[in-house]
Amino acid sequence: MTTSSPRGPNEKLGSLLSLAGISNAGLARRVNDLGAQRGLTLRYDKTSVARWVTKGMVPQGPVPHLIASAIGGKLGRPVPLEEIGLGDTDPAPEVGLAFPREVPEAVRTATDLWRVDLENRRAPGGSRWSDSLAGTFSVTAYAMPVSRWLITPADGSVAREEPSAVPGHGGVLLPDTASPAELSSYRVGHADAAKLREAAQEARRWDSKYGGGDWRSSMVPGCLRMEAAPLLLASYSDDVGRALFGATAELTRLAGWMAFDTGQHEAAQRYYIQALRLARAAADVPLGGYVLASMSLQATYRGFADEGVDLAQAALERNRGLATARTMSFFHLVEARAHARAGSAGACSAALSAAESWLERSRAGDADPAWIDFYSYDRLAADAAECFRDLGVPAKVRQFTREALARPTEGFVRSHGLRLVVSAMAEVQAGELDAAVAAGARAVDVAGRISSQRTREYVLEMLRRLEPFRGERAVRELEERAKLVLAASA
């Protein structure tokens, strides 16, 4: 994680680095490596270290201890925090990582997260996750929230009753600057919660079409802070409160998904944890399962496949007899993705079979939640292709990718682009270079129309797989075109 306000040059740290013979880049590398050993994703560089030394910027969370450990390892002795000028640091709490037991505290934790994020976005040059919180992703941070959700997936009454509260009139009328008295005097109605659900549905459509980094998608954190937060602090019955928490959980999960799509994994993790907590307050177990499935996809993507399996299975276990057939199918598909990344072919095959079986049982009249409307056989086929890519079965990759691409994907532009990339990689592996270049060119066109770091990373992986064929003119042209498109959309 980055640093808090400067305190003046940290001469102790600078002197000890000189004594140990460690350069700024060397210390950054050692800290990042030590963090990785603890399941953390750190992205420090020589500039970060220079800020610690010359400006006295204070790294938060566990980073001071990692610095001491890195220097101590080079010196061959323990190094206390006081020796590096960080003995008086009091790391700020990990905003958004808590999963409070009680509903009022859960509301405070979630609204604090939304406030910090929005304040950073409003700051000059602020477009990404807060510098004071970014820098770490730890899959172990999911352990406690998941355990508490599994034990108690639904809270008791969530009502906030104020006798003097004035009923609302179907609109989000409360300003972000409303006083506690003004908040408590407003009585939330079902129409207020419905408006938040409509906002979530609209944002999901923009995300699918333009990517998580599109400006329309990035309005979700503002909606949470400016519209959802005041409502959560107002007055409502248990019934309305459940609906309100459910709508807010959907928006929060979506904010996490958009952060994940744009490569802001630290923010995504915090939003996911709060979405799970809000889903518990809503007593919406299927929605909680959907959040867990999102966590699973992130963990698997980040290289923590075993944890991805656990998260997907947690979603499945709590939803037996509760979620619709389509929803259960998706949870099994997410489980299959994690098994494939872990290299467990048998378990992946069983999960894929279960996903297909559940999907076949779904019917048009089922009470499917709105958030699962994206899921149909083409998505199953697309993810099955990625499973077999990870398992190294190119024939199956080509089969399922062709099935996925044969179906219309109107409105799901990013998904179409990802499928084209997977298709290109499968054709490369099968030795069909012309087909690979054709699919790759179409994927690059899609990547140029959306704002998605995940899509960029897929395209870069495709280019890496084409490197052995750079002697071919078509491959070089595709590479040049891709680099221009990615640079323009960065």
Residue-range domain boundaries for the chain: 3-84, 100-283, 390-490
- Strand 166-167 and strand 186-187: pairing? parallel
Cβ within 8 Å of residue 457, ≥6 positions away: 263
Rounded to whole angstroms, how far apart are CA atoms 401 and 211? 21
Residue 134 belongs to what H/E stretch?
none
Per the CB < 8 A criterion, the answer to whether 397 and 388 are in contact is: yes
Cβ within 8 Å of residue 224, ≥6 positions away: 114, 118, 248, 251, 252, 255
Helix, strand, coil in percent for the chain, rounding step 5: 65, 0, 30
Q: Is the pLDDT of residue 145 over 50?
A: yes
Say which DSSP state 82 is in. G
Residue 56 belongs to what H/E stretch?
none
In angstroms, the first-to-last Cα distance of the chain is 23
Q: How many residues does the chain have?
A: 490
CA distances from 482 to 432, 446, 478 (A): 20, 11, 6
CA distances from 429 to 318, 432, 443 (A): 39, 8, 17
CA distances from 163 to 112, 168, 174, 185, 243 (A): 27, 14, 18, 8, 20
Q: Is 61 helix (H, G, I), strand (E, B) or coil?
A: coil
Mean pLDDT of 112-121: 82
Backbone angles phi, psi at 306, to 5 degrees: -60, -45
CA distances from 462 to 209, 337, 377, 415, 439 (A): 22, 19, 25, 16, 10
Calculate Rg over the CA atoms of the chain: 24
Residue 12 belongs to what H/E stretch?
helix 11-20
Chain centre distance of CA 155: 25
Question: Which pLDDT value is given to residue 127?
Answer: 47
Question: Which pLDDT value is given to residue 430?
Answer: 87
Q: What is the pTM of this model?
A: 0.81
Question: Which pLDDT value is given to residue 129?
Answer: 47
Going by pLDDT thresholds of 50, 70 and 90, the confidence category of residue 117 is confident
Cβ within 8 Å of residue 313, ≥6 positions away: 335
Q: Which two tokens stand for residue 435?
A: 């087909």
pLDDT tens digits, 240-258:
999 999 999 999 999 999 9
Rounded to whole angstroms, how far apart are CA atoms 224 and 258? 14
pLDDT tens digits, 419-429:
999 999 999 98
Cβ burial of 410 (10 Å; 0-12, 13-18, 19+) is exposed
Instruction: Name residue 3's beta-bridge partners.
Output: 59
Task: Say which amino acid occupies 139.
Answer: V
* % of the chain with per-residue pLDDT over 90: 63
Mean pLDDT of the chain: 87
Residue 210 belongs to what H/E stretch?
helix 190-210
What long-range pairs does 215-223 form, CB within 8 A, spacing at least 24?
A: 217/258, 217/451, 218/121, 218/258, 220/251, 220/254, 220/255, 220/258, 221/114, 221/117, 221/118, 221/121, 221/255, 222/118, 222/121, 223/196, 223/199, 223/251
Q: Is the pLDDT of residue 221 over 80?
A: yes
Rounded to whole angstroms, how far apart are CA atoms 248 and 240? 12
**Cα angle at 219 between 215 and 223, to 5 degrees?**
175
Mean pLDDT of 359-371: 95
Q: Which two tokens stand for residue 418?
A: 């990802």
Domain 3-84 fold: 434 Repressor (Amino-terminal Domain) (1.10.260)
Three-state SS string over 235-286 comes to EECHHHHHHHHHHHHHHHHHHHHHHHHCCCHHHHHHHHHHHHHHHHHCCCHH
CA distances from 110 to 138, 176, 332 (A): 19, 15, 29
Cβ burial of 5 (10 Å; 0-12, 13-18, 19+) is exposed
pLDDT tens digits, 350-361:
999 999 999 999
Q: Is the pLDDT of residue 36 over 90?
A: no
Hunting for tokens 């207020």 — which residue is that? Answer: 192
pLDDT tens digits, 180-218:
666 667 899 999 999 999 999 998 888 888 787 665 556
